[in-house]
Amino acid sequence: MKGMVRFGKKGKLSPPYVIPYEMLQRVGKVAYEFKLPSELALVHPIFHVYMLKECIGYSESILPIEGLGVKDNLSCEEVPVQILDRQVKKLRNKEVVSAKVLWKNHLVESATWEDEDDMKCR
């Protein structure tokens, strides 16, 4: 649709669910319309069920969109905050060093293992 912006992939470390929105109505068998805030006025308000997750009220998993630094194109920069752990995996003829990285605007449970050399560059 002309003039509409879709949610794009923001990388493997992006939060998949930002905040719960009010559902207005069911559209067909597999789509729902949502009431979106004014910041997301260019995003089409109808979503297929495969893009949705039921909100069960776990407040620690909900991140406010204001503090995430989301740009106009709905992308955000991932910034490493702290290295939590380090491991060395031995393959047949080499060793791979990984670091467990805590990212800005992410929970500790969502820390990921990254290549240590890449993290030193960042």
pLDDT at res. 1: 45
- Give the β-pairing of 46-48 and 31-35: antiparallel
> Two tokens at 62?
């909900």
- Tens digits of per-residue pLDDT, 19-70? 677 889 999 999 999 888 887 778 888 888 888 877 666 565 556 666 666 6
pTM of this structure = 0.42
Q: Where are the domains of the chain?
A: 1-68, 80-121
Q: Judge residue 2's burial from the number of C-beta atoms within 10 Å of its C-beta, 0-12 exposed, 13-18 middle, 19 or more buried.
A: exposed
Which region among 2-11, 59-68, 99-108 has the lowest average model confidence (pLDDT)? 2-11
pLDDT at res. 53: 77
